[in-house]
Amino acid sequence: MLREPGTAPESLPMTQRQILGFALLALFLPTSCGDDKPAAKADDAQRRERVEITRRYPPDSPADDLRNTRTSVTRIVSGLNDAVTAPFPGRLSVDLPATNEDSFAGSLCLTGFPADKTPPRVRLYFEIDFVGAKETRKHSVTLSFTEAVLGWSPMQFVRGGTDATKLTIRGSYIGEDVPGDIPGLRMALALPATELLKAPVGEAPNVLLISIDTLRADHMSCYGYERETTPNIDALVKRGVLFERAFSPAPWTLPAYGSLFTALLPADHRAGIVTEREAAWGSDVAPPKRTTEVLRNDVPTLAELMTRRGYQTAGFVSNPFLGPLSGVARGFQSYTSYQYNAQTGADLALEWINSRPGARWFVFLHVIDPHMPYAPPKPYDTRFSKIGVDEIPDWPPDLDTLRRQPPSDETKQRCVDFYDGEIAFVDAQIDRLLDALDAAGTLENTLVILHSDHGEEFWEHGSCDHGHTQFEELLHVPLAFVWPKKLGVKRIATRVRTLDVLPTIAEIVGFDVPAGIEGRSLMSVIDGRETTDRDGIAEALMHTQRETKALYRGKDKLIATGAAQNLLFDLGADPRELYDLSAESAARVDAMRKLLLEHHEKAKASASRSTPFQPDRSVRDRIHRYGYVGDGQPPPPKK
C-alpha cells in the first residue's frame, strides 16, 4: 500500500531500521545525551498521558479526494495512544512486568511541536535499553524530526530475555545542525500500562469487532440479496451465529456507535443527540438552534472494560464523527483515524495485531466504504454496473440535491450499483484480513463480530442517504458472532438489538457489565433459552427539523414525531412499512407513545451531564466531504 512521505516505508522491516540506526550512529555522534541533560523541572517531568498526533494535509479538491479513495492511498489522519512522555532531548524509563514473551512492541513520536511551524531538517537518535538482572539488551532507532512529529513510528524489539524489568529510552539529536531549545517538546512512547500487559486468564478469546458503516442487511447475499455482494462474509457467518433481524438504535453514525460502546440508548449516552430537538420531542416545536452532543464522560465504554479485563485494545476508524473529539475513543490504548478505504483499515489492523504476538487483544475495525459518495475502486465499480465511475461525468451527484428531489431512474440505479460494488470491495478486504489471521494461527481463538451502525435509503420512503428517518432500510443491520470453538453455527430469527453487543462480549470474555445499561447479553438467544423478539427504541435523528423516535414492541413498530404525528406498522405483515395503521389503532399508538415518553422523561437526567461536539476545521471539512451537509429534510412518506 502507498504511504505518505515521511512515514515508515512498508518495504523496510524493523530489523533493517535497527541496522540503519547503528550505521548512522557510527557516522554521527549524538550532540546531546539524556543522562547529561540537567534534571527536568517539575512540570517537565516524565508522565503518563494520552497523546494524539494529528497529521495536517493540504486541502484536496473533491476530485483528488475521490481519486485517493479509489486508488487506496493511505492517509493517517490522527493517532491517539496511551503513552509515557518525557522532555526531548532527555530520558524516560518504564518498569516492565514479568512475561513469557521475548518481544516488545511500542511506538515513538515527538509531541508539543507547534503545528504552524516548519519542522527542522534534523535526525533524531533513540538509544533503547532493556535492563534485566543478567544482561542489558541494547537497540537504537533513528527518525527524521518530520517523521517523528507527523505520526507514530511503530517499533518491535527483542527484549533479550524475559527477565528484563526496565525499559529506558534516551533521545537526542544527530549531526551538527541542532535546533535551539524548543519549549514543550516531548518524546512519547506508546504502550499499554504495565499492569495491562498481562494476558487475561482462562480461555477468553481475542475479539475482532468489524463494523461496516452504512451497510443495510438486505443488500448482503447472506441475508437473501439476489446479488452476490458478500461471498466471503457469507462463508464467515456460515461458521457462526447470524442474527437475521438485528436493529440499530439510531439511523446515523455517532449515536449508533455510542450505543455499541455503552449498551445505552442515545438519549442516555448523549453521543449524537441534538440537544434542542431532543428536549422538544413529542411537541410540534421545531427548534431553530441545533447543538450536537458527544458521549458522556461518566459512562463506562467497551474499550475501558476490555482494558480492565487485561486486553490490549486498538481502534481503527474512518468516519470523522468517530474521532477522539466525540468521546467514543475513550478506553482504547491505541486509536487511529485513517482515510480512505477498507484496504487501509485492514492493513493497519493487521499490522497492529502482528506487532503483539502472544498478547490478548480487542480490535475495533471500522470501514466506511458503502457510505456516500458511492465510488468503488476498480474492478468493483463494474461488478454490478455496466459503466465504471471514471466514465461518468460529474460523478458523484450532489447529495443534498438527491435528498430533496428524486433523480432519474438511471441515476438511482447507478447509486445502488456502486453501493453494492463498495460492499463487494469491503467483503474482499475482510477476507484478506481473516485469511492473514488464519495463516498466523490467530483466528482459531478469535471471536469475530460483524456489525453495522445503520443502513441506507434508496428512495423507498421518498428520499436517500440516512440520518433523517426511522424506517427499516436504515435500522435493519447485519449482526453476527463467529467463534466456532464455543458458539456453534446457527441462523436466529429472533429480533435483537446492536446495543446488546457489549453485554454479550462481557459474558463471553468474562467481565461484569455496568449497572443500569439497556443492553442484555445475547447468549440466552444463541443457546435457545430466549425466543421472544426483543423490544427496543431507536432515536437521535441527525437531519430534519424535529426529533423522531421509533419503538419496536412485538410485531408493531411505532414511528412518532410531533404531538399527533405517528406511523404504525405491523412488521410481520408489512416488513416494507407501506401501510400506516395509526388511524385505526389509536389504543396501540397511545400505549406505545406512553413508553417512548417515559424513556424521554427519564433521559432528561442525562442531559445535564452532556457536552457539545466542537470539531475543528479539518474535522468539519471531512464531515462535509462525506455528505453531512444541509438539513436532509425528506419529503413526507406516502400513505
**Is the pLDDT at 399 greater than 80, yes or no?**
yes
Residue 61 — pLDDT band, cuts 50, 70, 90?
Answer: confident
The pLDDT value recorded for residue 635 is: 43
CA geometry: angle 469, 475, 481, nearest 5 deg: 165
The pLDDT value recorded for residue 22 is: 32
**Is the pLDDT at 252 greater than 70, yes or no?**
yes
**440 three-state secondary structure:** coil
The pLDDT value recorded for residue 453 is: 98
**Fold match flag (14-194 vs 206-381+415-625):** no
Beta bridge partners of 568: 558
Q: List Cβ neighbours of 413 (8 Å cut-off, separation of 6 or more).
A: none
CATH number of 206-381+415-625: 3.40.720.10
What is the β-pairing status of strands 153-158 and 241-247?
unpaired
Domain-by-domain residue ranges, the chain?
Answer: 14-194, 206-381+415-625
Q: List Cβ neighbours of 328 (8 Å cut-off, separation of 6 or more).
A: 254, 257, 258, 261, 271, 295, 301, 322
Window from 183-187, 241-245, 384-388, 631-635 with minimum mean pLDDT: 631-635
The pLDDT value recorded for residue 405 is: 83
Window from 6-20, 113-127, 181-195, 247-261 with minimum mean pLDDT: 6-20
The pLDDT value recorded for residue 155 is: 84
The pLDDT value recorded for residue 163 is: 77
pLDDT in tens, 160-169: 766 788 999 9
- The 8 Å CB, 24+ separation contacts for 182-186 are 182/112, 182/113, 184/112, 185/87, 185/88, 185/110, 185/111, 185/112, 185/113, 186/44, 186/85, 186/86, 186/87, 186/88, 186/110, 186/111, 186/112
Q: How far is CA 418 from CA 225, 359, 562, in A?
A: 15, 39, 36
Average pLDDT of span 393-397: 88
Of 632, 630, 622, 111, which Cα lies nearest the Cα of 322? 622
Work out whether the CA dihedral 465, 469, 473, 476 comes out positive or negative: positive
pLDDT in tens, 465-492: 999 999 999 999 999 999 998 999 999 9
Quote the mean pLDDT of the chain.
87
**Is the pLDDT at 28 greater than 80, yes or no?**
no
Rounded distance between C-alpha atoms, residue 186 and residue 188, angstroms: 6
The pLDDT value recorded for residue 352 is: 93
Q: Which comes out higher in pLDDT, residue 394 or 256? A: 256
pLDDT in tens, 286-310: 998 889 999 999 999 999 999 999 8
Buried b (16+ CB within 10 A) or exposed e, 244-257: bbbbbbbbbbbbbb
Residue 49 — pLDDT band, cuts 50, 70, 90?
Answer: very high
Q: Which DSSP string corresponds to 492-560? A: E-S-EEGGGHHHHHHHHHT-PPPTT-S---SHHHHTTS--SPPPEEE---SSSSS--EEEEETTEEEEE
Q: Please confirm whether the linkage preceding 635 is cis (ω < 30° from 0).
A: no
Window from 60-64, 281-285, 336-340, 444-448 with minimum mean pLDDT: 60-64
**Is the pLDDT at 513 greater than 50, yes or no?**
yes
- CATH fold group of domain 14-194: Jelly Rolls (2.60.120)
The pLDDT value recorded for residue 208 is: 98
Beta bridge partners of 129: 138, 168
Average pLDDT of span 309-335: 94
Residue 21 — pLDDT band, cuts 50, 70, 90?
Answer: very low
Q: Does the model's pTM come out above 0.85?
A: yes
